């Protein structure tokens, strides 16, 4: 698959590379696994020393890194290195005379190999950075660990990064461009399924593109095949993040994916206090996000939770929830559940799609949803342009025949009291409008 989008990220990476001629620069690239960090870095830099931190001893890593360093730069390094700090110092010394881009991928893994690497690197970096020309790019997939390494004031590398990139999924306009390139005759139903199943995550997009899976039927064929990479995906990616308490986190996420979106609803089922778990899922792991009615006051307790990632939402709703059937290979059973519930399930992702599309337009200063106490008068989308005094109130339905603008106006009576000077547009959005 060709390289799509990421123009701003490429510009930032190449800008940092140019700036290192006047002193070493450090860039941190974070993002969930499969999001395309490595491909972005490879696209940005034609010449680089690429080091991948795998789970092996420090001595074996150094042996591997020395070979990569010598082969990439066509130099000979004498001596044996068993500590990364010694190798890192040597690499920095090499950049006194010429600029070199050094990429260290899965940088957070040093926490498990030798945590003192970070303080060693800090000392070496502070000593040499002004007199050297290293373009150091540190990439990591486990967001909570990368955040700890670079944003915790107690950590040695806090404040050392000159730039940070938090790589996000492809936007909806990019997904449409990808479908247009590979299936020009795609339908709105195809686009919604593509958005729902991939969530714009680069690896999943690539899997569907390579398999020619551009319809709902073919996408489900790929997901529920014997050799599918996606059936174990949630477990493979999140167990390491969550550690030994992953079963509690998985239970919470499964309930959220099944529309148990309030803390009280989840606690009533699990019969335990989950406040700390929700806080960590939101702020440390960034797997969920808190949703409040638009314009809700700061301390408002009217709130819901949702899983941020489309694919994780699907995985917890259908795969993890029916893991017994998956474990005995009865994929057809789980697929039938997906097909049975798809219309109901897809509705909220159609809402999410239109919210994402409104964000791409950059026409609004605030976009969200609205509801009143006890979930009364729910409104799917409210978008505010404070500069031009415009308010968009929208109802989203898969079937356009189910849209009732008069009912939407009635539900918004209390809301529009705060927007008396605004031009108000009521809009119905359906799958026909994608």
Map 277-341 to HEC letters.
Answer: HHHHHHHCCCCEEEECCCCCCCCCCCCEEEECCHHHHHHHHHHHCCHHHHHCCCHHHHHHHHHHH
Q: Which domains does the chain have, with CATH numbers?
A: 7-166 (3.40.50.300), 233-328 (1.10.10), 363-433 (no CATH)
Phi/psi region, residue 100 (left: phi>0; alpha: psi -120 to 50; beta: rest), is beta
pLDDT band at 3 (very low <50, low <70, confident <90, very high): confident
pLDDT at residue 47, as a whole number: 94
pLDDT at residue 348, as a whole number: 94
pLDDT at residue 22, as a whole number: 92
> By the 8 A CB rule, do 146 and 140 touch?
yes
201-259 per-position pLDDT tens digit = 999 999 999 999 999 999 999 999 999 999 999 998 898 888 889 999 999 999 999 99
pLDDT at residue 309, as a whole number: 94
Residue 389 to residue 374: CA distance in whole angstroms = 29
Give me the residues paired with residue 225 across strands.
none
> By the 8 A CB rule, do 214 and 182 touch?
yes
Residue 72 to residue 49: CA distance in whole angstroms = 6
pLDDT band at 300 (very low <50, low <70, confident <90, very high): confident
**Residue with token string 């849209």:** 403
Residue 22 to residue 11: CA distance in whole angstroms = 18
Q: Which of 217, 207, 168 is nearest to 338 (CA)?
A: 217
> By the 8 A CB rule, do 273 and 316 touch?
no
Give me the residues paired with residue 385 across strands.
390
Which 3 state secondary structure label does DSSP give 11? helix
86-108 per-position pLDDT tens digit = 999 999 999 999 999 999 999 99
pLDDT at residue 58, as a whole number: 96
Residue 423 to residue 389: CA distance in whole angstroms = 6
What is the percentage of the chain residues whose pLDDT exceeds 70? 100
pLDDT band at 69 (very low <50, low <70, confident <90, very high): very high
354-385 per-position pLDDT tens digit = 999 999 999 999 999 999 988 899 999 999 99
CA distances from 117 to 88, 94, 156 (A): 10, 19, 10
CA distances from 245 to 142, 146, 237, 241, 309 (A): 16, 20, 14, 10, 21
pLDDT at residue 19, as a whole number: 95
> By the 8 A CB rule, do 67 and 100 touch?
no
pTM of the model: 0.89
Residue 381 to residue 396: CA distance in whole angstroms = 8
Q: In the predicted model, is pLDDT for residue 304 greater than 80? A: yes
pLDDT at residue 295, as a whole number: 87
pLDDT at residue 293, as a whole number: 94
* Cα–Cα–Cα angle for 388, 392, 397, rounded to 5 degrees: 160
144-181 per-position pLDDT tens digit = 788 889 988 888 998 899 999 999 999 999 999 999 99
pLDDT average, residue stretch 134-145? 88
pLDDT at residue 105, as a whole number: 96
DSSP 167: -
pLDDT at residue 98, as a whole number: 92
pLDDT at residue 134, as a whole number: 97
Beta strands 390-396 and 376-385 are antiparallel
Residue 141 to residue 130: CA distance in whole angstroms = 29
pLDDT at residue 302, as a whole number: 85
> By the 8 A CB rule, do 289 and 305 touch?
yes
pLDDT at residue 297, as a whole number: 82
Beta strands 163-166 and 423-429 are unpaired
Higher pLDDT, 243 or 260: 260
Q: In the predicted model, is pLDDT for residue 1 greater than 80? A: no
pLDDT at residue 374, as a whole number: 82
């Amino acid at each position: 698959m060709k390289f799509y989008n990421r123009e701003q990220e490429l510009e930032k990476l190449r800008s940092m590379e140019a700036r290192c001629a006047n002193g070493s620069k450090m860039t941190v690239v974070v993002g969930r696994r499969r999001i395309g960090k490595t491909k972005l870095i490879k696209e940005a830099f034609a010449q680089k020393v690429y080091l991948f931190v795998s789970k092996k001893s420090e001595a074996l890593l150094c042996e591997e890194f020395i070979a990569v360093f010598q082969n990439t730069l066509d130099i000979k390094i004498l001596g044996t290195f068993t500590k990364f700090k010694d190798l890192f110092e040597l690499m920095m010394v090499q950049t006194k005379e010429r600029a070199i881009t050094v990429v260290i991928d899965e940088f957070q893994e040093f926490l498990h190999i030798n945590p003192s690497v970070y303080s060693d690197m800090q000392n070496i970096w502070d000593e040499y950075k002004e007199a050297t020309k290293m373009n150091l790019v540190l990439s990591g997939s486990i967001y909570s660990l990368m955040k700890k390494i670079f944003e915790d004031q107690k950590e040695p590398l806090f404040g050392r990064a000159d730039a940070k990139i938090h790589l996000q999924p492809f936007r909806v306009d990019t997904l449409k461009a990808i479908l247009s390139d590979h299936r020009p005759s795609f339908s709105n139903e195809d686009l919604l399924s593509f958005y729902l199943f991939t969530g714009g995550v680069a690896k999943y997009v690539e899997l569907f593109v390579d398999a020619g899976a551009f319809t709902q039927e073919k996408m489900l064929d790929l997901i529920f095949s014997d050799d599918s990479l996606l059936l174990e995906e949630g477990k493979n990616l999140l167990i390491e993040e969550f550690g030994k308490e992953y079963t509690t986190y998985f239970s919470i996420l499964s309930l959220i994916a099944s529309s148990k979106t309030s803390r009280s609803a989840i606690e009533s089922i699990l019969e335990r206090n989950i406040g700390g778990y929700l806080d960590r899922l939101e702020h440390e792991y960034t797997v969920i996000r808190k949703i409040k009615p638009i314009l809700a006051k700061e301390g408002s307790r009217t709130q819901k939770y949702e899983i941020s990632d489309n694919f994780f939402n699907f995985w917890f709703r259908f795969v993890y929830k029916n893991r017994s059937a998956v474990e005995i290979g009865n994929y057809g059973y789980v697929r039938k559940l997906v097909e049975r519930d798809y219309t109901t399930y897809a509705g909220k992702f159609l809402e999410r799609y239109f919210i994402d599309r409104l964000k791409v337009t950059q026409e609004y200063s605030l976009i969200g949803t609205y509801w009143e106490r006890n979930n009364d008068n729910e409104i799917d989308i409210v978008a505010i342009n404070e500069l031009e005094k415009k308010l968009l109130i929208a109802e989203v339905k898969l079937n356009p025949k189910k849209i009732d603008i008069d009912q939407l106006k009635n539900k918004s009576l209390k809301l529009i009291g705060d927007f008396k000077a605004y031009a108000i547009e009521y809009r119905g959005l359906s799958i026909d409008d994608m």
